[in-house]
């Protein structure tokens, strides 16, 4: 623990870019949660624009645990 889940519209993201993103996200989480690097996990997955509302906005963004709201509504 903790686990980070990143969802984004389909686009080219190389393995190197994913590794860099994961490393930077983990560094922030380690700093604020005092977590060990080996305790963190990260997933990154694409969501088609047509599925964003149903798969992400309605299910995740409406969560009471949401900390940062997006600047859009659906």
Kindly give, in sequence order, each residue whose CB lies less than 8 Å from that of residue 44, ignoring residues fewer than 6 positions away: 6, 7, 8, 13, 18, 21, 22
Q: Which residues on adjacent β-strands are paired with residue 43?
A: 5
The catalytic residue among 2, 10, 49, 64 is 2
Q: Catalytic residue at 2?
A: yes
Residue positions annotated with a catalytic role? 2
């Amino acid at each position: 623990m903790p686990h980070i889940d990143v969802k984004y519209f389909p686009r080219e993201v190389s393995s190197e870019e994913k590794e860099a993103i994961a490393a930077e996200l983990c560094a922030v989480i380690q700093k604020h949660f005092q977590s060990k690097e080996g305790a963190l996990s990260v997933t990154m997955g694409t969501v088609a624009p047509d599925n964003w509302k149903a798969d992400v906005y309605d299910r995740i963004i409406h969560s009471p645990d949401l900390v940062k709201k997006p600047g859009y509504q659906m």
